[in-house]
Structure 1
């Protein structure tokens, strides 16, 4: 499987999201800059999946994803989510 990820955190997030959202047919190539939610998502995720992702990330990484505008930005892609987690840990 080809992985286009920066680091282990992004790979962890891919695996967590695939498991949390019960993605049955994950893509072979993982582009962390691809949209996470919406019609262009390689995982086929929608707004209900976004809620599940927020809960899983908050529990798994002990970070708080706040207001709706912030969550849209944070959940833009795996890369933006990973960057948010890294910044929150500082």
Structure 2
């Protein structure tokens, strides 16, 4: 597992735990939508807040602008890229 995939997998685990996702798929495609009706995890805008808090706590990366949050929560891959760019 390469570093990029490892971070995406770790993020999925953090998100599943932070958002109390029941029956989460074992693997979510990195480019799959995180939030909204097409999310394989069934996440909505309230879950987005939980994700932002969890990312800040776990990685020390702040997402304090709503427009930035909307952009970086597009998928696991985009979120992982954002975290890598801030570390």
Runs of 4+ in 1 over 3 A off after TM superposition: none
Q: Write out per-residue CA displacement over residues 14-63 of structure 1, whole angstroms, 9 at most, x where no aligned residue.
A: 00001111111112442010000000000000000000000000110001
- Of residues 77, 80, 83, the one that matches 1:82 is 80
TM-score calculated relative to the size of structure 1: 0.89
More strand by percentage: 1
- Of residues 23, 31, 34, the one that matches 1:33 is 31
What residue number does 2:62 align with?
A: 64
How far apart are the structure 1 equivalents of 2:50 and 2:78? 17
Q: How many residues of Structure 1 are paired with residues of Structure 2 in the alignment?
A: 84
What residue number does 1:3 align with?
A: none
Is the aligned partner of 1:18 residue 2:16?
Answer: yes
Q: Which runs of 5+ in 1 are unaligned?
A: 1-5
TM-score calculated relative to the size of structure 2: 0.92
How far apart are the structure 1 equivalents of 2:74 and 2:44? 12
Q: Which runs of 5+ in 2 are unaligned?
A: none
More helix by percentage: 2
